[in-house]
Amino acid sequence: MIDKQFKKEAFKESVKENVKFLYRKKLEEATQEQIFQAVCYTVKDVIIDNWLETQNAYKEQDPKTVYYMSMEFLMGRALGNNLINLTAYKEVKEALDELGLDLNVIEDQEPDPALGNGGLGRLAACFLDSLATLNYSAYGCGIRYRYGMFKQQIKDGYQVEVPDNWLKNGYPFELRRPEYAKEVHFGGYVDVEYDPAIGSNKFVHKGYQAVKAVPFDMPIVGYNNKIVNTLRIWDAEPIVDFELDSFDKGDYKKAVEQENLARNIVEVLYPNDNHMAGKELRLKQQYFFVSASLQAAIAKYKKNHKDIMKLHEKVTFQMNDTHPTVAVAELMRILMDEEGLGWDDAWSVTTKCVAYTNHTIMAEALEKWPVELFSRLLPRVYQIIEEINRRFVLEIQEKYPGNYDKIKKMAILYDGQVKMAHLAIVAGYSVNGVAKLHTEILKKQELKDFYEMMPEKFNNKTNGITQRRFLLHGNQLLADWVTDHIGPEWITDLSQISKLKVYVDDEKAQQEFMNIKYQNKVRLAKYILEHNGVEVNPRSIFDVQVKRLHEYKRQLLNILHVIYLYDQIKKHPEMDFYPRTFIFGAKASAGYARAKKIIKLINSVADVVNNDASIEGKLKVVFIENYRVSNAEMIFAAADVSEQISTASKEASGTGNMKFMLNGAPTLGTMDGANVEIVDEVGKENAFIFGLSADEVINYENNGGYDPRVIYNTDDEIRQVLTELVNGTFSSDTELFRDLYNSLLNQNGGERADQYFILADFRSYAAAQKKVEEAYKDEKGWARMAMLNTACAGKFTSDRTIQEYVDDIWHLDKVYIK
């Protein structure tokens, strides 16, 4: 334990001192927010010592480093997590107690740094936690958005987006590093000039606009190992005392443009999950952080290494989805134009340094940039992509002579577009999917041609989550109980949690386990009462679906089933029905009208159901406002049932599913993403699986879809549910939900009727829900199942995922701090 550093008295003194010098106040006069800041500075002081030591150890031992390049890092709050990883949480809680302060209240002062949308950004955050905990040298590289993911308010049942000004009070854990600033160039044109030094022509980028990229570093504390890695996020500043190139001297208009560029570029995170908006500013953001990160990585490498041809021995860049894929061409540019390598040498280094992770097969998420936009914004980088493409097309022709279809399907440049996934695959030395099923679909369907041409690049890395945040911090009661039974090794070796299996039939253990679940449900019920004004019964089944709102995730299926249950209870008031609370939490992209309508529907159904005295509180529906990492921790801990009901084949992995499982909630889900592997681990008798398989869905899709009207016409109860969308049951405005109704029954432009197979899966979903109810009534059986879910979650730690990335892709060296 590192509690030496947190000697209680010294800690208390330091907090008081910090309140004094930060705010000129005594502790008694300070607000909770000021105390939060003071506590953070005390904690940061300890972290900085470890941070320095870590960086020194890296300098001495010179390990290979991974640069995890991501547009999103959904970190969640840092204070509690840092205390956990410093193994100082309980000591600090006690020290604060003695000062009359409550650590929970202090933690609640911290804004969630929400620099991400959903799964992809949260995965990046879990990976950083695991990398530090496993003693690997790693940087997260991203953007310091001034405004992160918007805050969601629900007004009259509608989502309202409120800007997330997370930096308003200053963020205590970040460190500005102006000495590492880099310049990034946009626009302009490329000139060919004769260079007498090399006796040949070279390309020179001119007439560009420049932005200064200034890094802010955040410490990433490893668990109980003194390692502190760095999340480096880039801010943009105008180049004020700008030295415009000689031909631009006195160009006032340009000076103003440069200032605007700097102001806009890091302003806000695009709030789209699994969807590409295609905005020019987004491409600017991508190039901005990629260029700055690569420049910094290469400068750091060159400090201690002479031979740029050996860059890949010390450095690897992991591209989190295609968002940072411009890195391929930017690295080529730096190696050629700045390091003086020729094409072949630059290509040889680049293709040993970059690797790509695919996170989705959703067509609307694929990044394709119009050539016109791309070449105007990044003329030199575009020129390099043209050459990569030219050479790749030659390779295709060599391998498949006369097969022009292959060129059409595989080229990087085609139809006036730059296809980022193709660029990533052609240059990457590794291409991975994020769950077994997903990787198989990539190989057999989406990326079939590439897999056929370069099978050795493809591999699977099933996602994982950090148990430090999602059990040790989020569910302290259960964490203590687990440690009491099997010791603390699970904290850094989650495979140990299988030792709980010997307790699943032990009645005392069952009671304790379910009692902890009950207490967590009481905690959530209190939160719901405070935030929603809805009273829920903690003895009811907490059935939870929390994730981004997207049609493929099928929150609509869930709420239609709620309507179905409501109809049943109304029709048969005497029927046996175990009380249920359906809990939703989801943000919809600001521009995604249908997703927002589904939120409105959930809230409208909640209004009717929750206020219908005739159903005697058997059914409650709650929409938790502003679902985010901090309240997620509490929600997973309190869940009885984990809703993972995506249309099979659409959810690449899912990671919420793993968080529920770890906290003892069985999965109610389709055979999609990592659900498949969850069932492998826990057994299908300890999950509730329903619906079409991925193969069946893909088969329908390849053959024109299916006809939901057959179901509508033959199933009276389903027809009744749909009718209630448009007959005034949930809104006096019968047109309000017309679009949702139509989307299930009619085709619309290029969109098939019920393209996410909601009606096709409805009956089997309802049957699975019925089984949940039956299973829950068997108290011991349920306790056993819940415990088995926790006990079988070992595979789903991001520690395992990261070790696989290290073994198969990154080949990093472990570093130990004395």
**Nearest distance, CB of residue 673 and ligand Z57, angstroms:** 5
Q: Which stretch binds ligand Z57 (CB under 6 A): 116-124, 195-203, 335-343, 440-448?
A: 116-124
Residue recorded with tokens 């941070």: 51
DSSP 126-192: HHHHHHHHTTB-EEEEEE--SB-SPEEEEETTEEEEE---TTTT--TT-EE-GGG-EEEEES-EEEE
Q: Is 677 in the site for ligand Z57 (CB under 6 A)?
A: no
Nearest CB to ligand Z57, comparing residues 75 and 227:
75
Q: Which stretch binds ligand Z57 (CB under 6 A): 107-115, 126-134, 653-661, 677-685?
A: 653-661
Q: Among 67, 96, 66, which Cα is nearest to 79's?
A: 96
DSSP 620-657: EEEE-TT--HHHHHHHHHH-SEEEE-PPTTS-S--SHH
Q: Is 654 in the site for ligand Z57 (CB under 6 A)?
A: yes
> Using CB under 6 A, which residues numbered 235 to 274 contact ligand Z57?
273-274
DSSP 340-381: ---HHHHHHHHHHHEEEE-----GGGS-EEEHHHHHHH-HHH
Nearest CB to ligand Z57, comparing residues 123 and 557:
123
Backbone angles phi, psi at 464, to 5 degrees: -155, 175
**Nearest distance, CB of residue 24 and ligand Z57, angstroms:** 44
Residue nearest ligand Z57 by beta-carbon distance:
119
Q: Is 551 in the site for ligand Z57 (CB under 6 A)?
A: no
Q: Is 647 in the site for ligand Z57 (CB under 6 A)?
A: no
Q: Is 285 in the site for ligand Z57 (CB under 6 A)?
A: no
Q: Which stretch binds ligand Z57 (CB under 6 A): 292-300, 302-310, 395-403, 647-655?
A: 647-655
Nearest CB to ligand Z57, comparing residues 140 and 219:
140
Rounded to 10 degrees, the C-alpha dihedral 755/759/764/769 comes to 100
Write each residue from 81 to 100 as x if it is in contact with ligand Z57 (CB under 6 A), else as -, in one continuous string.
Answer: --------------------
Q: Which stretch binds ligand Z57 (CB under 6 A): 119-127, 226-234, 383-391, 663-671?
A: 119-127
Rounded CA-CA distance 316/318 in Å is 7
**Nearest distance, CB of residue 551 and ligand Z57, angstroms:** 13
Q: Are strands 458-460 and 182-186 parallel, antiparallel or unpaired?
A: unpaired
Q: Is 321 in the site for ligand Z57 (CB under 6 A)?
A: yes
Q: Is 648 in the site for ligand Z57 (CB under 6 A)?
A: no
Q: Is 615 in the site for ligand Z57 (CB under 6 A)?
A: no
Nearest CB to ligand Z57, comparing residues 212 and 553:
553
Question: Of 110, 651, 681, 754, which lies in the binding site for ligand Z57, with binding defined by CB under 6 A?
Answer: 651
Q: Which stretch binds ligand Z57 (CB under 6 A): 118-126, 184-192, 635-643, 714-722?
A: 118-126
Q: Is 130 in the site for ligand Z57 (CB under 6 A)?
A: no
Rounded CA-CA distance 227/247 in Å is 49
Eight-state DSSP code of residue 704: T
Nearest CB to ligand Z57, comparing residues 442 and 514:
442
**Nearest distance, CB of residue 667 and ligand Z57, angstroms:** 14
SS (H, E, C) 86-134: CCCHHHHHHHHHHCCCCHHHHHCCCCCCEECCCHHHHHHHHHHHHHHHC
Q: Which stretch binds ligand Z57 (CB under 6 A): 48-56, 583-591, 652-660, 799-807?
A: 652-660
Residue recorded with tokens 């003329």: 379
Q: Is 492 in the site for ligand Z57 (CB under 6 A)?
A: no
Nearest CB to ligand Z57, comparing residues 127 and 566:
127
Question: Of 34, 360, 417, 540, which lies in the binding site for ligand Z57, with binding defined by CB under 6 A?
Answer: 360
Q: Is 673 in the site for ligand Z57 (CB under 6 A)?
A: yes
Q: Is 678 in the site for ligand Z57 (CB under 6 A)?
A: no
Q: Are strands 413-414 and 417-419 parallel, antiparallel or unpaired?
A: antiparallel
Q: What is the CA radius of gyration of the chain?
A: 27
3-state helix, strand, coil in the chain (%, to 5): 55, 15, 30
Nearest CB to ligand Z57, comparing residues 649 and 655:
655
**Nearest distance, CB of residue 743 and ligand Z57, angstroms:** 21
Contact indicator for 271, 292 with CB cutoff of 8 Å? no
Contact indicator for 308, 800 with CB cutoff of 8 Å? no
> Using CB under 6 A, which residues numbered 15 to 74 contact ligand Z57?
none
For 273-339, strand residue ranges (E) read 315-320
Question: Of 332, 365, 668, 759, which lies in the binding site for ligand Z57, with binding defined by CB under 6 A?
Answer: 365
Rounded CA-CA distance 120/358 in Å is 10
Contact indicator for 464, 801 with CB cutoff of 8 Å? yes
Nearest CB to ligand Z57, comparing residues 358 and 630:
358
Nearest CB to ligand Z57, comparing residues 540 and 653:
653
Q: Which stretch binds ligand Z57 (CB under 6 A): 358-366, 592-600, 616-624, 635-643?
A: 358-366
Report the DSSP beta bridge partners of residue 644: 669
Question: Of 144, 185, 312, 359, which lies in the binding site for ligand Z57, with binding defined by CB under 6 A?
Answer: 359
> Using CB under 6 A, which residues numbered 411 to 440 contact ligand Z57?
434
Catalytic residues: 359, 547-548, 553, 655, 659
Q: Which long-range contacts (CB under 8 A, 24 or more apart) does 32-38 make?
A: 32/105, 32/106, 32/108, 32/109, 33/109, 33/169, 35/101, 35/106, 35/109, 36/79, 36/106, 36/107, 36/109, 36/110, 36/172, 37/169, 37/170, 37/172
Tell me how many residues contact ligand Z57 (CB under 6 A). 19
Q: Is 463 in the site for ligand Z57 (CB under 6 A)?
A: yes
- Residues in contact with 248: Cβ distance below 8 Å, sequence separation at least 6, in sequence order: 207, 254
DSSP 708-719: HHHHHHH-HHHH
**Nearest distance, CB of residue 120 and ligand Z57, angstroms:** 3
- Residue 321: helix, strand or coil by DSSP? coil
Rule CB under 6 A: which residues touch ligand Z57?
117-120, 123, 273-274, 321, 359-360, 365, 434, 463, 651-655, 673
